[in-house]
Structure 1
Amino acid sequence: MGFAAKADPDWDAFVKKYGRYADKKLKSKGIPGAALSIVSKNNVDYIHTMGVTSARNGQKINKHTRFRLASVSKTFAGSLSVKLANDGLLDLDRAVSDYITDFKGTVYQDDLKVFHLLSHSSGLVPNAYDNLIESRMDYPSIVEKLLGVEPICKPGKCYGYQNVMFSLIGDVILQSTYKSYEQWLQEAIFEPLKMSDASLGFEAMVHNKNYALPHVRSKKRWYSAKLKKNYYKVGPAAGVNASASDMAIWLRAQLGQYPDVLSLDILAKQTRPYTHTKKKCIGEYGKNTLMKLITD
């Protein structure tokens, strides 16, 4: 896909003005630090970093400082899954039970398809067993309990945001390709896109000191908090780490500017609407991209 080469003469002034606005807002809220990436098809990426990695003895944030992406991780799972499907390595329309045999003999056996995992349309009550993610229970044990949960609707008939159910895409990919989700993410996404700071998992996040800690607010100040391992259990849903530099690349990939990695066909299939949600605004989930139509 080609784009016009002509840059917007107002781009530089616009992004710098926005950067000053971000600086002002962070200062007014006392937020310790942040990083900002803005991309445009025809203009140079704008990466702006602010503050420090920790309110207590933190180092200055730079464009390679790693942040925990939390649920933005799901966009990587969506793109990777559709890419593997396009290469004939995965069938998004097959039953999950064809890949994960523990689902055979359950209420999910025939109706739950792989694409239901990615589009938050499994039929489960929203955020099923997120409380167990936050406990000391390991991922396989949480999945075992999930098998006994009765859905509130048939798969594909209602929206229910998930983390545990969503992360089963990692199990599906492993069973379908005999290669782990982490390996595929590294080899098919991070490396070809040259996302040099991006990774999956807790250990990769903390391998050196250039990462941002979470913070909590108490009274009038922000305090650095311990980085917990809990949501790293569900890697496809919440386990990616990346820098502002990485995220500028990822945004461009989602705009079709890395067709050798994410083709226009992959992007079209990924963003095809599947699940309607009325939460906060009118929107629809694709294979995990939320398309929101903001209303008055």
Structure 2
Amino acid sequence: MDVFAAAGLQKPDISLLSDEFLAEVRELPQRNLAVELLRKLLNDEVKARTKRNVVQGRAFSELLEATIRRYRNRAIETAQVIEELIALAKEMREAQRRGEELGLSEEEIAFYDALESNDSAVAVLGDETLRTIARELSDTVRRNATIDWTVKAAAAGSFGEAQAPEAEAWVAPNGRVSPAPGLFVAQVVGESMNQRIPNGAFCVFRAPVEGSRTGRVLLVQHRAISDPETGGSYTVKLYERVSPDAVLLKPQTDVDGYEPIEIQASADDLRVIAELVEVLGVLS
């Protein structure tokens, strides 16, 4: 159901969300419809904002979820949840103006918010230094535009369809990798490769994989893979061709319980996604 049409209202752009529109919502006679209208509007904005500014997106997502949860658990009345959602909408609107007030672009404010979320960084460095760092990070990413420095999810272990990678945040390169097409950053989780990749480390991968694959750490997909850590069809392992028709995906770990994954693989069954280029480390 189109809740905006049902309420007789045009869906607004939240960046232009006016006090007049919010007043109209507040006065709707269908109170439950007003709640649903605000929830949908704010939820759509949270999704869009998370793509631009992870810290802001997550913060507003938590506030929205907490408010709706209390409403559905009957901890607050309909009139109160409407007021709280309207207040959240205004807070989102004001958050869009922070960059202008701080003299930062949209990309720079995303870095600034990430830095500011670390209390010790604020205390030690101060606001002006954080702004300078945010500008420098944004400039670094802009100059290295051929690398997708957004963080994606991967596993050692694995990730399957239920854990499809999504952009989560930005990381700055260590400087050992030259910008090139096909590079991306993924966070690798699990202990099965901990001699090469610490659990939770961010790594640079390159796709496609060219030349011999044996002896290289690869991100691969196969429908027969059920990795013991996360059970998906993707995994990060040391690749070894043991026969023309068989591949061994070997863990490199000091933790007991991890066995090589042997696959009777044809070209159609096994998909090599990317190769490990550099371990950036676990970022705090």
Query: Higher Cα Rg: structure 1 or 2?
Result: 2
Q: Greater share of strand residues, 1 or 2?
A: 2
TM range (shorter): under 0.3
Q: If the length of structure 1 is used for normalisation, what is the TM-score?
A: 0.21
